[in-house]
Amino acid sequence: MPRRNLRRLLQDEFAGYGLPIFHQDLLAGLTVAAVALPLALAFGVASGASAAAGLVTATWPAWSSARCPARPTRSAAPPGP
């Protein structure tokens, strides 16, 4: 596999990415946040901890997973009931 510099790799990866696709991605992210944040707060309260504890424990897996190498078996989603 030939090595490419980072600039060329990003250009190839995002060749068809434009403003309409960005708007779709932004809407998808806001939709996920609208569902995930109240769910995280509810998990904290339902477990007997504070709502802030639920928020921290729901965001920690995604934060740590984004900074670690990818693995096929890794899931960063909070488990639901």
Which positions ≥6 away from 27 have C-beta within 8 Å?
A: none
CB 40 within 8 A of CB 53: no
pLDDT of residue 55: 86
Pseudo-torsion of CA 16, 20, 22, 26, nearest 10°?
Answer: -150
pLDDT of residue 56: 86
CB 45 within 8 A of CB 51: yes
The model carries a pTM of: 0.59
Rounded Cα–Cα distance for residues 60 and 81 (Å): 19
What is the residue type of 54? G
- Asked whether residue 36 carries a pLDDT value surpassing 70, the answer given is yes
